[in-house]
């Protein structure tokens, strides 16, 4: 087994191309770039118009089977696939989300890919980048400050203190801030009430950034954000609080996508970072509007399994962007399918169980129901699936063959990809399969019509994508749905907030469970972003740190270089 250096060591040894050359390969001139140092640049929105006459790229979304808590390498696969097209004489652009620093300093670590399929500079990508997350945090908290000042100044809009939905945001894992009381002290310290913090990736402002199609659209969406309700149930918006204009000013640089590159100098658009289990979990529409005219292929990644990120990509992002996909990649790993057999327990931050590393293709077949269902979830939307077997050094060829047998029996293309250890050349077989799938006629379709009632939309996702028998609602959730439809929000798509560790709402149910009911305990409205999200189970919008978070290992060496980042 050939040892692969650490991700950080590989990234530091990268030979970066001048960003002007990377951009030129996309058809983007230097006048459209705003450099942030030598290795990162923002792209001005005028690029969308200037690229409009160029041919349209094949649009490919990368999704996955239901992951283990360790993740299954979607970003690494996306990057490796983007690099592979160069080996075929084709051009590709990669579009991914920006990592949140909460997970970077928590358990997950960074999100720049891995091995020889990384986005570089990985330190910049994982730590601040160009400050977009801070702009989202500041805009979010400006609205919170204006809201509380409105209450302090007399509450002219008659907001019900018991029905204020806007909290505060911070890009750090901090469980102590989940539920707080604000306004303690004297009369001049504000109105005392219960509130809390969400991580910035869960902020509606982040979802607004990801789903906006222009600066004007961003401004309009910010104005539609609902911060709470009056006692009679009328929504109160950021526009009514006179906050949206200032928020838009704070976001006018953040709306420009960030240009980076892979280890093999493939262009990468990094923009926005909405949570994958609370929000829609996809990078920005604006990045895609640029990338769709910048090469032969545009590869974008959707968070978690196909039941989550890909479903939202299809029914929320594509609905807002007007772009339609030509193919979808479903990343599968031996370890995840073995986990779905029910014979092993995988815990984030801990090594895999020794028994899981033993050659056992039968266990792969036992866990294959999840792969079959995720292939079906892609086909529900009329898109051709390609199964990417993300190869790990601990895998055995017989186990890859087991995955291939399952995929081919479903009529899906399949390829083993060695991009982690070999970079782009290790993903050539996958690139060839994706190119073939993308050349087929796509019959893309939404899962439900926009005009369908909200309960009908939730039922469609629950039964057709998750495999549930039906949906149950608490009395509070039913009242909330009725209120949203009465206030004119019924035409919005739905974004079901549930665990990413199961196709069901129960993280302990593996494979493709049946005979269960989706329990909706609460329903919230992200009116500015443009979706309604039912909450199923206990969903945390502010993560906490573990006993030994990644932050413990991150430091500066004697020369001022970053060490310990993964």
Distance CA 437, CA 74 (A): 19
C-alpha distance from residue 361 to each of 282, 398, 399, 415 (Å): 33, 6, 5, 17
**Cβ atoms of residues 317 and 78 within 8 Å:** no
Q: Can you read off the two tokens belonging to residue 176?
A: 């102590």
C-alpha distance from residue 308 to each of 111, 278, 382 (Å): 18, 10, 17
Q: What are phi and psi of 406, to 5 degrees?
A: -65, -45
pLDDT given for residue 2 in this prediction: 60
Q: Can you read off the two tokens belonging to residue 198?
A: 């969400």
C-alpha distance from residue 501 to each of 70, 130, 386, 472 (Å): 10, 31, 22, 21
pLDDT given for residue 108 in this prediction: 67
pLDDT given for residue 41 in this prediction: 98
Domains annotated on the chain, with CATH = 7-130+254-348+356-439 (3.40.50.300), 132-250 (3.30.1510.10), 454-535 (3.10.410.10)
Q: Mark residue 6 as left, alpha or beta (left: phi above 0; alpha: psi -120 to 50; beta: remaining).
A: beta
C-alpha distance from residue 270 to each of 183, 330, 411, 494 (Å): 38, 21, 33, 25
pTM of the shown model: 0.95
Distance CA 131, CA 270 (A): 12
Q: Is 383 helix (H, G, I), strand (E, B) or coil?
A: coil
Provide Rg for the chain, Cα atoms.
23
Tell me the pLDDT of the chain (566 aa) as tens digits: 467 888 889 988 999 999 999 999 999 999 999 999 989 999 999 999 999 999 999 999 999 999 988 888 999 999 999 999 999 999 999 999 999 988 888 876 677 899 999 999 988 999 999 999 999 999 999 999 999 999 999 999 999 999 999 999 999 999 999 999 999 999 999 999 999 999 999 999 999 999 999 999 999 999 999 999 999 999 999 999 999 999 999 999 999 999 999 999 999 999 999 988 888 999 999 999 999 999 999 999 998 999 999 999 999 999 999 999 999 999 999 999 999 998 888 887 788 888 889 999 999 999 999 999 999 999 999 999 999 999 999 999 999 999 999 999 999 999 999 999 999 999 999 999 999 999 988 899 999 999 999 999 999 999 999 999 999 999 999 999 999 999 999 999 999 999 999 999 999 999 999 999 999 999 999 999 999 999 998 878 888 988 888 899 899 988 888 888 87
Distance CA 374, CA 329 (A): 10
Q: Which residues pair with 282 in a beta bridge?
A: 302
Distance CA 255, CA 284 (A): 9
For residue 300, what are the contacts with CB-CB under 8 A and spacing of at least 6? 59, 60, 61, 62, 78, 94, 95, 96, 282, 283, 287, 288, 291, 313
In angstroms, how far is CA 329 from the centroid of its own chain? 15
pLDDT given for residue 1 in this prediction: 47
Cβ burial, residue 508 (10 Å; 0-12/13-18/19+):
exposed
b/e burial code for range 465-480 (CB count within 10 A of at least 16 → b): bbbbeebebeeebeeb
pLDDT given for residue 526 in this prediction: 96
Q: Can you read off the two tokens belonging to residue 121?
A: 């500079």
Distance CA 104, CA 371 (A): 28
């Amino acid at each position: 087994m050939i040892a692969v250096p650490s991700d950080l060591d590989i990234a530091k040894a990268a030979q970066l191309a001048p960003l002007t050359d990377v951009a030129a390969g996309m058809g983007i001139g230097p006048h459209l770039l705003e450099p942030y140092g030598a290795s990162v640049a923002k792209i001005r929105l005028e690029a969308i118009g200037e690229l409009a006459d160029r041919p349209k790229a094949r649009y490919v979304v990368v999704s996955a089977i239901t992951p283990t808590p360790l993740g299954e390498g979607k970003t690494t696969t996306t990057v490796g696939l983007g690099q592979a097209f160069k080996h075929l004489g084709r051009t590709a652009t990669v579009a991914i989300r920006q990592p949140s620093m909460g997970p970077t300093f928590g358990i997950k670590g960074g999100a720049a890919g891995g091995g020889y399929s990384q986005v570089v500079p990985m330190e910049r990508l994982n730590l601040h980048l160009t400050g977009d997350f801070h702009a989202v945090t500041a805009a979010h908290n400006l609205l919170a400050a204006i809201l509380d000042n409105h209450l302090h100044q007399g509450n002219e809009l008659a907001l019900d203190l018991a029905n204020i939905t806007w909290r505060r945001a911070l890009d750090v894992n901090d469980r102590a801030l989940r539920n707080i009381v604000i306004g303690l002290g004297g009369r001049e310290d504000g109105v005392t009430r219960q509130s809390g913090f969400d991580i910035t990736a869960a902020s509606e402002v982040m979802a607004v950034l990801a789903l906006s199609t222009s600066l004007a659209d961003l401004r309009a969406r910010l104005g539609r954000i609902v911060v709470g309700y009056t006692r009679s149930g009328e929504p109160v918006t950021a526009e009514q609080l006179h906050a949206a204009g200032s928020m838009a000013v704070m976001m006018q640089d953040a709306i420009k996508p960030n240009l980076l590159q892979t280890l093999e100098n493939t262009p990468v658009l990094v923009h926005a970072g909405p949570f994958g289990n609370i929000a829609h979990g996809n990078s920005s529409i604006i990045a895609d509007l640029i990338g769709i005219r910048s090469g032969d292929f545009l590869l974008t990644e959707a968070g978690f399994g196909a039941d989550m990120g890909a479903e939202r990509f299809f029914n929320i992002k594509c609905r807002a962007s007007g772009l339609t996909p030509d193919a979808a990649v479903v990343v599968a790993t031996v370890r995840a399918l073995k986990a779905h057999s029910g014979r092993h327990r995988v815990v984030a931050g801990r090594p895999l169980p020794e028994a899981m590393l033993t050659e056992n293709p039968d266990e792969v077949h036992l866990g294959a129901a999840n792969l079959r269902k995720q292939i079906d979830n892609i086909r529900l939307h009329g898109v051709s699936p390609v199964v990417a077997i993300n190869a790990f050094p601990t895998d055995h060829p017989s186990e890859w063959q087991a995955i291939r047998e399952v995929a081919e029996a479903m009529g899906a293309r399949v390829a083993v990809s060695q991009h982690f250890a070999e970079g782009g050349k290790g993903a050539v077989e996958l690139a060839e399969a994706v190119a073939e799938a993308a050349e087929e006629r796509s019959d893309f379709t939404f899962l439900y019509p926009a005009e369908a009632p909200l309960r009908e939309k939730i039922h469609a996702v629950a039964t057709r994508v998750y495999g549930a028998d039906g949906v149950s609602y608490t009395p509070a959730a039913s009242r909330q749905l009725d209120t949203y439809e009465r206030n004119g929000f019924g035409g919005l798509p739905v974004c079901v907030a549930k665990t990413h560790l199961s196709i069901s709402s129960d993280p302990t149910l593996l494979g493709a469970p049946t005979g269960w009911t989706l329990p909706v305990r609460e329903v919230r409205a992200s009116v500015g972003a443009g979706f309604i999200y039912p909450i199923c189970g206990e969903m945390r919008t502010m993560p906490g740190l573990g006993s030994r978070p990644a932050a413990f290992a991150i430091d500066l060496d004697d020369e001022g270089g970053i060490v310990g980042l993964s």
